[in-house]
Each structure stands twice: as C-alpha cells, then as structure tokens.
C-alpha cells in the first residue's frame, strides 16, 4: 500500500471511533432509571407535654492561679560585640557653579566742597577716607564756615566754625576698636546790645575784639565693642573719652563817652582796652554696657562715670556723676518689656537718686502697629560746655548744677501705614528739678550776655511725626511738638516755645538733580525783662525758617550746589537782642577724587 492509501484507512478508522463513542453514551443515558419502590407512611402522635431540661455543664475555671511557691528569678545577660563594621563612602565630585557677580562699585578716597555767598559767607569742607577693607577703616574731616553779616543798630555779629576730625576703626574677629581725635573752634561776638534800654546812647564799637569770644574743644575717645556669636558670653560696649574745653572772652576794661553838639547830649560808647578772660573745663567720661543671657533670660547693666573740673576767674570747682542702670528684658508672642532702674551717686556733695526704667510694647496686627508705655527718669550735669553750646552768648562764670528728671511718663503708638509710610504719636509728662533757664545778666552795663537760673518745671508734651520714603528717590519727615510748661518760681519758662513744627525732605528728580528742603516753624516765646528791679515778660514773636537746596551732578566726580536760607527774610530772635541773619545764599562746587 502506498502512503495515500494508508492515510485513507486512518481517516475511516477515526470516523468509526467517533461514532462508536457517541453511541455508547446514548445507550447509557436512555437505560438509567430512578427507584420505583413504594415506601409506607409512618405517623407519630404526642400524648403529653415535652419536658426540655438542659443539664448543668461542668465549666472549666478560666481564672489562672499561681501556686504559692518561690518564683525563680531569671537573669538574662545581653552582650554586644564592640566591633565596628567597616564602611566607606566616597561622594561624587561636584562641579563648581559659576556665579556671575556684579562688579563692585568704584570708591573714591576724597571729597571736597567749597562755596561762598552774600554777607561775606565762606564755606569749605573736605573728607579723606579709606576704601574697602576687611581689617580697618580711617578718615579725616575738615570744615570751615563763616559769615560777617551786618545788622543795623547792632554790633558786629560775625561768626566762624572750624572743625578737624580724625577717626580710625580696627575690625577683629570678635571685637571692633574705634578711636577718634577732634578739634573744634567756634568764634562769636556778643553783639546783643540793647540801645533802647539806655536812652540817649548810641554804640560805635571801634574794637570788635572787645566783644569776641573764642571757644576751643580738644577731645579724644576710644570705643571697644564685642561681636560674640555665643549668647552665653558677656557682651560689652565700652567707651572712654576725654575733652578739654576752653573759652577766651575779650571784655572791655574801659568805656569812654564823648559829647556831640546839639540841645540834647547823646553819648557815644567806645569799647577799648579789652582784657582777656579764660575759662577751662576738663572732663573724663567712661560708659560701659554689658549684657548676657542666664537661662535664656537677658540681663543688661549700664554703668557711667563722669568727672568735671572747671577753672575760671572766680576759682575752680569739680563734680562727679556716678550711675548704674541694670534692667531685664522679656518678650512674648505679642509683647516685649524692659524692667529696670537707674541709680546715681553724687560723690562730691553726697546723696543718691533712684529713678524707674520701665517700658512695655504691645504688637498689634503682626507688628503693623506697636502700642507702648513706660516711665523713667534721669540726671545730667549742666557743664560749662553743655550750657555754652546751647547759648554761646553766655557768661563764663555761671552756676553749674545737676538737672534731675524726677519722673517721665509716656504713652504712644507707632507703626506703618504702608511699606513707605511710618508714624509715631506719643504723649508724655515729666517733672524736672533744676531746669537750666537763660536770663540776661542785668548786672553788666551792656547787658549783652546771659547767665543761668534754675527752676522746677512740670512739662506736658504731645509729639507726632510721619515719614514717607520711596526707595532712594523721595524722603520726607514731618514732625511737630506741643509743650505746656508750669514753672515753680519763674514767671515763664524762658526761651522755650510751646509749638515746634519741622519738615525735612529730599527728592531725586533725576539721577543728576536732587532737591532738598528744611522748614522750621516756631511760635512765640518769652524772655525776661527787668523793669526797675521787677522781672516782667517780653514776648519774642514766632517765626518760620524756610530753607531750600539743590544739587546737580555733572558726573560722578563733579557737582554744584545751591542753598537758599531764610526765604522768609525774617530777622527772628532766638535770644533777646540777638537778631539772626536774614535771607542768604550759598553756592559752590563739590569734587570727588
């Protein structure tokens, strides 16, 4: 048989196998039957009630019991193997990031400004400073300003200021050391004669030196400040300073009088043969501020040592002022407080003064505003330097005393309205013992100098200021103060106006042009007037002092400036019989190199 015939035989057999399988299954299905046997029906009838009782079961006691025996202690020791598993980690090297920094702006060493104006005004000022350094800084400053303006019916009011200032700073790891050396000279003329108070007399001073006073100041100081990062260390700020302050006054030793023709006989005064009168004051001042943290509580201590020695034509005197001011500082989420006291000891005359030193701040709306209140006091010595700096037409033999602020109560609110506008409003009341007040010395024949009287004064003050700043282009500050004085012995608080308003502004119109303004408004004040031995009041009218300035930079190195002072042209009097200079102009140039 060939292969084709074989395949045919297999297909026939395969088909027959399928038919046989199907037939067998069909046979089994049709020949299987269910059971056909019949079963008998059985019935049960209950003739009594069932008694269903459940027998009590035997329960196992589930509460464990410990046999009353001594329990053996189990001691397990865990030992560790003191072997360190050797590991190693080598980080992948990182490529440095290239940062493109802005180039540092070039700095210049020196700056010079010079100018002049009407009334023979002369101005020159210069600075020389070091440039960038991580280790030190130093500088020199010189200044001269003078004027020789003329006031009708008054003597020569010329004045001059000359200053030379040196400073240097060394920056160390944890400290900064700063030193300064200064010389200041101030020359004035006591031109405040009062012809109206001496009828029939005119003044013709042929010798200006006879009313000239020259003040000289030499001072030096050191300051040592810490910059610790560790708050547990004792941080410190220590200042030591010394000054020698002197005045050289030319006083007339002879006043001659001449007659003129006419029915009336007026006198002409000539101040001749001036003699010199010198006063010298020396001062040593040591200030220290220490603070540290003890268990997260900051504790500050300030200490003060001041020594004054003055010698004049009446003799010499000296004074010590010793003070200490410890205080604690605390803060919470919405408040911070300052609690301490000030104690001063008079080492010459004896006696101790203790004043409170309290302040509490409450922060409102996430520091948008801060309400504050407090109480403090202070003690200051009225040295010849401090008095003559306030009033340069003072005698050199005044009585020096301490001024004590027995209490100073204050309450206020400060904060910001926007990112550019800030404000501060406060009210205060203080009681001052021995406030220094200037009065005309009526014992001098010319009555052109002042002496000092002391009085106890109660002062109420209301202050408000608001400032606006937009980056570096616009800056304005407007402030005002109202005072109410209650003296004890004097008729009035002499030369203390009750209202002061000031406006300071600066506006950069362009990068080259800047405008500035300074406006001061003061209401009337009172001066004492001796009428036949009785002290009366003389009202000095209030005044506005309006000043404008402009500066234009041709380049970074050269610029010009213009100052217009006393635009209201007011000859106001800060001191009786001493009218100030009227409208004046100052123009000049500034050079940086």
| pLDDT > 90: percent of the chain | 59
Position 263 confidence tier, pLDDT thresholds 50, 70, 90: very low
Q: Kindly state the average pLDDT of the residues 152-176.
A: 89
d(CA 267, CA 191): 18
DSSP state of 365: T
Does position 69 have pLDDT exceeding 70, yes or no?
Answer: no
**pLDDT band of 257, cuts 50, 70, 90:** very low
Band of residue 359 on the pLDDT scale cut at 50, 70, 90: very high
Better-scored residue on pLDDT, 284 or 2: 284
Asked whether the whole model's pTM tops 0.85, one would answer: no
**Model confidence band, residue 348 (pLDDT cutoffs 50, 70, 90):** confident
Q: What pLDDT is attached to residue 381?
A: 94
pLDDT of residue 215: 96
Q: What is the residue-wise DSSP string for 182-247?
A: EEEEEEEE-----GGGSTTEEE--S-GGGGEEEEEEEEEEEEEEE--S-TTS-EEEEEEEEEEEEE
Mean pLDDT of the chain: 84
Cα Rg, the chain, nearest whole Å? 49
Rounded average pLDDT over 137-148: 95
Q: Please state which CATH class domain 110-592 belongs to.
A: mainly beta
CB 322 within 8 A of CB 307: no
Q: Does residue 325 register a pLDDT over 50?
A: yes
pLDDT for res 58: 55
Looking at per-residue pLDDT, the higher value among 297 and 258 belongs to: 297
Per the CB < 8 A criterion, the answer to whether 429 and 409 are in contact is yes
**Which candidate, 125, 126, 133, places its Cα nearest to that of 110?**
126
* Res 73: pLDDT: 64
Structure tokens at 191: 């031109």
Write out pLDDT tens, residues 489-503.
Answer: 999 999 999 999 999
Q: What is the pLDDT of residue 342?
A: 96
Residue 159: count of CB within 10 angstroms of its CB:
18
pLDDT in tens, 95-109: 777 776 667 777 888
CB 327 within 8 A of CB 358: no
Close Cβ partners of 189 (under 8 Å, ≥ 6 residues apart): 155, 156, 157, 158, 159, 208, 211, 212, 213
5 pLDDT band, cuts 50/70/90, is low
What is the separation, in whole angstroms, between the first and last Cα of the chain?
126
Confidence of residue 386 (pLDDT cuts 50, 70, 90): very high
Q: What is the pLDDT of residue 272?
A: 47
Listed by start position, the domains of the chain span 110-592
* Average pLDDT for 476-499: 96
Residue 261 has pLDDT above 50, yes or no: no
Question: What average pLDDT does range 291-298 have in this prediction?
Answer: 89
pLDDT at 60 over 90: no
Which residues does residue 573 pair with via DSSP β-bridges, in sequence order? 579
Contact 269, 257 (CB under 8 A): yes
Q: How far apart are CA 484 and CA 308, in angstroms?
A: 33
């Amino acid at each position: 048989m060939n292969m084709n015939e074989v395949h045919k035989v297999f297909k026939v057999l395969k088909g027959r196998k399928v038919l046989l399988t199907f037939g067998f299954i069909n046979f089994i299905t049709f020949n299987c039957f269910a059971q056909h046997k019949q079963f008998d029906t059985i019935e049960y009838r209950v003739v009594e009630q069932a008694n269903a009782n459940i027998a009590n079961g035997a329960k196992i006691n589930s509460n464990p019991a410990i046999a009353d025996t001594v329990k053996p202690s189990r001691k397990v020791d865990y030992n560790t193997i003191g072997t360190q598993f050797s590991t190693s980690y080598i980080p992948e090297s990182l490529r440095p990031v290239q940062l493109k920094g802005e180039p540092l702006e070039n700095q210049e060493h020196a700056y010079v400004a010079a100018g002049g104006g009407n009334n023979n005004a002369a101005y020159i000022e210069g600075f020389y400073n070091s440039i960038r350094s991580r280790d030190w800084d130093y500088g020199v400053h010189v200044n001269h300003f003078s004027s020789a303006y003329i006031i009708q019916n008054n003597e020569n009011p010329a004045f001059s200021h000359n200053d030379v200032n040196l400073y240097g700073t060394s920056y160390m790891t944890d400290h900064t050391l700063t030193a300064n050396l200064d010389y200041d000279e101030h020359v004035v003329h006591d031109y405040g004669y009062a012809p109206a108070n001496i009828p029939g007399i005119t003044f013709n001073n042929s010798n200006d030196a006879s009313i000239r006073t020259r003040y000289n100041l030499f001072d030096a100081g050191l300051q040592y400040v810490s910059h610790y990062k560790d708050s547990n260390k004792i941080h410190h700020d220590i200042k030591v300073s010394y000054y020698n302050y002197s005045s050289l006054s030319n006083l007339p030793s002879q006043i001659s009088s001449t007659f003129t023709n006419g029915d009336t006989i007026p006198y002409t005064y000539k101040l001749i043969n001036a003699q010199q009168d010198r006063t010298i004051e020396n001062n040593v001042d040591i200030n220290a501020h220490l603070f540290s943290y003890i268990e997260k509580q900051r504790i500050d201590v300030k200490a003060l040592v001041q020594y004054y020695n003055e010698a004049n034509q009446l003799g010499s005197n000296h004074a010590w002022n010793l003070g200490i001011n410890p205080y604690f500082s605390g803060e919470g989420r919405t408040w911070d407080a300052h609690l301490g006291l000030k104690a001063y000891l008079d080492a010459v005359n004896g006696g101790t003064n203790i004043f409170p030193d309290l302040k509490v701040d409450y922060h409102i709306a996430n520091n948008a505003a801060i309400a504050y209140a407090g109480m403090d006091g202070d003690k200051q010595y009225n040295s010849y330097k401090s008095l003559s700096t306030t009033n340069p037409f003072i005698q050199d033999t005044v009585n020096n005393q301490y001024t004590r602020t027995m209490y100073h109560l204050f309450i206020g609110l400060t904060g910001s309205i926007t990112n550019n506008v800030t404000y501060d409003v406060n009210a205060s009341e203080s009681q001052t013992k021995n406030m220094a007040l200037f009065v005309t010395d009526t014992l001098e024949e010319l009555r052109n100098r002042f002496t000092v009287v002391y009085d106890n004064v109660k002062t109420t003050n209301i202050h408000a200021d608001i400032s606006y700043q937009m980056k570096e282009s616009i800056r304005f500050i407007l402030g005002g103060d109202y005072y109410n004085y209650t003296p004890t012995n004097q008729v009035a608080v002499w030369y203390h106006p009750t209202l002061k308003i000031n406006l300071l502004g600066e506006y950069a119109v362009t990068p080259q042009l800047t405008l500035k303004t300074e406006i001061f408004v003061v209401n009337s004040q009172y001066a004492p007037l001796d009428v036949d031995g009785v002290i009366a009041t003389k009202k000095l009218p209030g005044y506005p002092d309006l000043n404008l300035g402009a500066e234009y930079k041709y380049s970074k190195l050269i610029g010009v400036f213009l100052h217009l002072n006393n635009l209201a042209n007011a000859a106001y009097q800060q001191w009786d019989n001493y009218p100030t200079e009227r409208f004046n102009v100052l123009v000049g140039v500034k050079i940086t190199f």
